[in-house]
Every structure is written in C-alpha cells, then in structure tokens.
C-alpha cells in the first residue's frame, strides 16, 4: 500500500516479513538495494543507527536533516509532558490547571527539581533556603552601575547572572550533586533580586534589598516598587496572580531557551553561565520576548475597529507580519496556560482597573479564531497573548515582561540542566551539518585578486 501525507513523499507500507521484530523499522536504500533493520524504542529510532547506511565503505553514512529540531528528540525526560494537539501541560504528571489552583511557585519549583511534591517539612526547609539566599554580593551593584541608563533589563539580567559565576567558582563542580544543589537554590533565590535591581537601575532609583518576611512574588514586587514606606504592602490578589503566572512559566520542556541551557551545560560549563545563555535565548521576540511584542502590537493597532485591517496585513504579508502571541511549535490547540491567564485577568483588573488594550486583544482573538488562515495553520493564542496585559495592569514596564518570564523559568532550566548532567546517555551537544560550500581552493594573495 502507498500513502501520501501532506508535504511528504509517498511511503510504502507492507507487513513485516516473518522473523523481523515488530519493534523495528525496515529501511531499503534504493541507491544500493540493501535493506536495514533499525530498532524502535519509545517511538523513536536512534539517529546513529542510520550511520550504517552507506553507498561505499568510505561513505560517512546517512544522517537526518532537521533544522529547528522539528522532529528530533534530544533527550529522555521525566519533567514536563505536553500534548500539543489536546492542549495538555503537566509538570511531573500534575496538570498545570491543578498546580495553578492549589500550589505555590516555590512548591512547583521543588516539584520540577525533585520529581515529587514536598512534605510539609521539606517545603518549609526549601522555602527557608530560597528566602535566606535572596541577597547578592554588594559588588553586583557596582557592576550594574556600569550599564547605560537605557540598558534593556534582559541584557542586564543575562550579564549579572553570568557574573555570579565569578562569585561562586565552586559552581564549576557540576558533577558534585551537593555543590549543584547549592547553586540551584542560589539562582532561584537571587534572580528576582537581580531582575528588580535591573529595573531600579533603569529608573535611576536606589536598589531595594530583599524583605525575607515576604513571599517569593511579594518580595519581588516590593524590590521593584517600594519607595519611602517602611513596610511595602503587596495586594494579596496581585501577589497570588504573580505566583500563578510564575507557576505557568516555570517549565515547558525542550523549548529554545531550555535547549540552550542543556546545550551550554553539556560542555560542563557552570550553571550561572549556562543560565545566562538561556536568558539570551529567551530574550528573542519569537520566544519569551513575544509578550513585549504583543503589547507593542496592541498599542500600534490602537483601537478595536483597526483589528480587521491588521489581520488582513498579517495574512497578506507572506509570514513577514505575525500576529504576536499566536501560534506555537508544539500547541496546535489553545495553549492551556493562555486559558488560565485569560480567566485570571478579570480578577487582576478588578484591583488594577481594566486594561484598555484588552478589547483589542479580545477582538483579535475573536477574528483570528474564525479566520481560515489561522484555523488552517492551527494558530491559537499562546501564553504570551494575555500575560502582557496583566503585567501592564500591575504597572510593570514593557521591558520587564521578558524578565518576568525568566524569573520562574529559572527553576525549569535548572531542573532540565540537573537531569541532563545525571543522564548517562548525554554527550556534549554538537549537531552535524550538510556542507554545501566550496571544495578545496588555493589561497590568492590580496594584490592578485581582481
């Protein structure tokens, strides 16, 4: 039988011959007429098994070509499960909806890192550890002072997280589990402090030290916004909303920044420089920078009546103009995180007042979800579509949106990094290429070139 899947060449399907394992793939190389049996495990074949497929003894062997890792598993993981077609996201088996309703960010971080929800004693010890490591070395302030007044906070965050590597040289001992765990809680504890310092620097405001009596999100908010009051009071609704946003952003399996963290970490670089690299990956507008881009897009559209014209532009641009906050490599359904955020927006707006851009966002979603262009391509709102509106209502400046993503994602990056270090299958990340450049050439001195 011959089948054809959209965009793919025809494949021949027949029953396996007697004696051939059902859990294998039979490949016939039509260049040589040779047939190979390749074992299938967990629905995958090992790319290295293809190397035996050669046209001659000195041939390098068959590789796969997969830019953007569209169909390549780079690791086996037990951390996060996503079913993009059904819109399911689970951390260590727990649905994101249940964690958002019942857990706290720090408990979720513990779950991601350790695989199990903590007991009460474990939880209290973990919260205490993170809370008492929120302070950064005073030299970090001097480092911050070197940035220009208009430096983007993501650039400052990446740089200062990398700089922590120089304060903790023992972090190089990545094979030592006790050492590793110290840097895990340090990074989770200190990233809100560095993030808030970056903001205060850009505002020309004095840095506010951590208040260890407050919750993780509460302390971050006070470091951002405290002025002359003796004790900053955080609205419980906003504190809870920020905690839920942190839970929703904590991990998302092998996305661009996590792959960055694993890739850099695979050379056994310390977790501070690896996390700084992951922050760089997150900063891009196609990844964590999208929530900032959504806000700018909504501001540019300006009013609800201009939405149809904008959607027309997107469709006619041939992919150049994108509806930011829409589409996802994995979700081909409504992003479950976007659903939770959309619901939560109402509670936040009750405290902060309604964000005027919400009407434009709702209209965009309404039109896009019924428009053939978006329906055909399975483009649905992703986590970034509504989060920016909430951040803006909470008075976070647009430049801080991606930072608000990086803070909780630190626990996901570190969980994935730990798993990678402990995984015996892992090696230094080093993809192959198909070389299409020139063959060998002789060097021509400058004075003889035309």
Which CB atom, from 70 or from 446, has the smaller least distance to ligand ACO? Answer: 70
CB of 395 to ligand ACO, least distance (A): 22
Q: Phi then psi for 41, rounded to 5 degrees?
A: -135, 130
Q: List the one residue out of 430, 382, 78, 117 whose CA is nearest residue 248.
A: 382
CB of 360 to ligand ACO, least distance (A): 16
Residue pair 359/306 in contact (Cβ under 8 Å)? The answer is no
**The binder of ligand ACO chosen from 377, 422, 423, 431 (CB under 6 A):** 377
- Outline where DSSP puts E strands in 30-97: 34-39, 80-83, 88-91, 94-95
Stretch that binds ligand ACO, among 53-61, 236-244, 280-288, 414-422 (CB under 6 A): 280-288
Which CB atom, from 287 or from 304, has the smaller least distance to ligand ACO? Answer: 287
Q: Which of 201, 249, 252, 328 is catalytic?
A: 328
Which CB atom, from 326 or from 386, has the smaller least distance to ligand ACO? Answer: 326
Residue pair 50/64 in contact (Cβ under 8 Å)? The answer is yes
Q: How many residues bind ligand ACO (CB under 6 A)?
A: 19
Task: Write each residue from 139 to 158 as x if it is in contact with ligand ACO (CB under 6 A), else as -, in one continuous string.
Answer: --------------------
Cα gap 402→383, rounded to integer Å: 12
Which CB atom, from 363 or from 384, has the smaller least distance to ligand ACO? Answer: 384
Which CB atom, from 219 or from 258, has the smaller least distance to ligand ACO? Answer: 258
Indicate if the alpha-carbon torsion angle 149, 154, 157, 161 is positive or negative: negative
Tell me which residues in 282-301 interact with ligand ACO (CB under 6 A).
286-288, 290
Three-class secondary structure of residue 400 per DSSP: helix
Active site (annotated) includes residue 328: yes
CB of 238 to ligand ACO, least distance (A): 22
Tell me: does residue 375 bind ligand ACO (CB under 6 A).
no
**The binder of ligand ACO chosen from 131, 219, 382, 415 (CB under 6 A):** 382
**Which residue number is nearest to ligand ACO in terms of Cβ?**
327
CB of 119 to ligand ACO, least distance (A): 32
CB of 383 to ligand ACO, least distance (A): 5
Which CB atom, from 278 or from 383, has the smaller least distance to ligand ACO? Answer: 383
Tell me which residues in 298-327 interact with ligand ACO (CB under 6 A).
314, 319, 322-327
Which CB atom, from 270 or from 384, has the smaller least distance to ligand ACO? Answer: 384
Question: What residues have CB less than 8 Å from 292, skipping those under 6 apart?
Answer: 285, 388, 398, 399, 401, 402
CB of 368 to ligand ACO, least distance (A): 8
Which CB atom, from 62 or from 369, has the smaller least distance to ligand ACO? Answer: 369
Q: Which of 287, 313, 359, 447 is catalytic?
A: 287
Active site (annotated) includes residue 287: yes
| Structure tokens that stand for 102 in this block | 């019942």
139, with CB counted inside 10 A (0-12, 13-18, 19+), is: exposed
CB of 371 to ligand ACO, least distance (A): 10
Percent helix, strand, coil in the chain, to 5, is: 50, 5, 40
Q: List the one residue out of 316, 368, 317, 311 whose CA is nearest residue 338.
A: 368
Q: Position of tokens 């507008």?
A: 285
Q: List the one residue out of 177, 180, 208, 204 whose CA is nearest residue 194.
A: 208
Stretch that binds ligand ACO, among 135-143, 268-276, 350-358, 377-385 (CB under 6 A): 377-385
Active site (annotated) includes residue 170: no
Alpha helices in 45-173 (DSSP H): 96-102, 105-114, 120-131, 139-145, 153-167
Tell me: does residue 354 bind ligand ACO (CB under 6 A).
no
Tell me which residues in 83-112 interact with ligand ACO (CB under 6 A).
none
Q: List the one residue out of 140, 113, 193 whose CA is nearest residue 403.
A: 193
Tell me: does residue 328 bind ligand ACO (CB under 6 A).
yes
CB of 32 to ligand ACO, least distance (A): 34
CB of 290 to ligand ACO, least distance (A): 3
**The binder of ligand ACO chosen from 384, 402, 407, 415 (CB under 6 A):** 384
Which CB atom, from 365 or from 384, has the smaller least distance to ligand ACO? Answer: 384
Name 39's bridge partners: 24
Letter string b/e over residues 101-116, b meaning 16 or more CB atoms within 10 A of that residue's CB: eebbbbbbbbbbbeee
Residue pair 75/420 in contact (Cβ under 8 Å)? The answer is yes
Instruction: State the Cα torsion 262-332-347-107 to the nearest 10°.
Output: -30
Q: List the one residue out of 158, 164, 185 whose CA is nearest residue 283.
A: 158
Residue pair 270/426 in contact (Cβ under 8 Å)? The answer is no
Q: Which residues of the chain form contacts with ligand ACO (CB under 6 A)?
A: 286-288, 290, 314, 319, 322-329, 377, 379, 382-384
User: Could you give the residue numbers annotated as active site?
Assistant: 287, 328, 384
């Amino acid at each position: 039988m011959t089948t054809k899947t959209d965009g793919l060449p025809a494949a021949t399907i027949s029953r396996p011959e007697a004696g051939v394992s059902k859990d294998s793939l039979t490949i016939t190389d039509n260049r040589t007429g040779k047939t190979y049996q390749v074992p299938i495990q967990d629905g995958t074949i090992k790319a290295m098994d293809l190397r035996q497929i050669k046209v001659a003894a000195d041939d390098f062997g068959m590789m796969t070509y997969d830019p953007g890792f569209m169909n390549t598993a780079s690791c086996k993981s037990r951390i996060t499960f996503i079913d993009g077609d059904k819109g399911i996201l689970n951390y260590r088996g727990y649905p994101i909806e249940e964690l958002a309703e019942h857990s706290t960010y720090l408990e979720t971080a513990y779950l991601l890192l350790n695989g199990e929800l903590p007991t009460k004693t474990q939880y209290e010890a973990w919260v205490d550890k993170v809370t008492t490591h929120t302070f950064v070395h005073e030299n970090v302030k001097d480092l911050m002072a070197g940035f220009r007044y208009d430096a983007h906070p993501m650039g400052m965050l990446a740089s200062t997280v990398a700089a922590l590597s120089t304060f903790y040289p023992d972090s190089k001992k990545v094979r030592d589990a006790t050492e590793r765990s110290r840097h895990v809680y340090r990074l989770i504890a200190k990233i809100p402090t560095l993030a808030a310092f970056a903001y205060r620097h850009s505002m020309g405001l004095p840095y506010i030290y951590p208040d260890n009596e407050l919750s993780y999100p509460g302390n971050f908010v006070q470091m951002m916004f405290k002025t002359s009051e003796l004790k900053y009071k955080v609205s419980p609704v906003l504190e809870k909303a920020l905690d839920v946003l942190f839970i929703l952003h904590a991990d998302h399996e092998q996305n661009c920044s996590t792959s960055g963290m694993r890739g850099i970490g695979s050379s056994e670089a310390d977790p501070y420089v690896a996390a700084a690299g992951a922050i760089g990956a997150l900063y891009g507008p196609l990844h964590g920078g999208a929530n900032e881009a959504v806000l700018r897009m909504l501001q540019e559209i300006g009013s609800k009546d201009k939405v149809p014209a904008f959607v027309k532009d997107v469709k006619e641009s041939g992919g150049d103009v994108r509806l930011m906050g829409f589409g996802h490599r994995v979700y081909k359904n409504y992003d479950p995180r976007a659903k939770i955020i959309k619901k939560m927006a109402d509670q936040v707006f009750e405290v902060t007042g309604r964000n005027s851009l919400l009407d434009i966002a709702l209209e965009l979603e309404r039109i896009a979800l019924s428009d053939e262009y978006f329906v055909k391509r399975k483009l649905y709102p992703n986590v970034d579509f509504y989060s920016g509106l909430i951040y803006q209502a909470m008075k976070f400046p647009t430049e801080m949106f991606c930072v608000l993503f990086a803070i909780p994602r630190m626990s996901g990056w570190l969980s994935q990094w730990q798993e990678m270090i402990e995984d015996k299958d892992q090696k230094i990340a080093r993809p192959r290429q198909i070389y299409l450049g020139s063959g060998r050439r002789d060097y021509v001195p400058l004075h003889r070139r035309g």
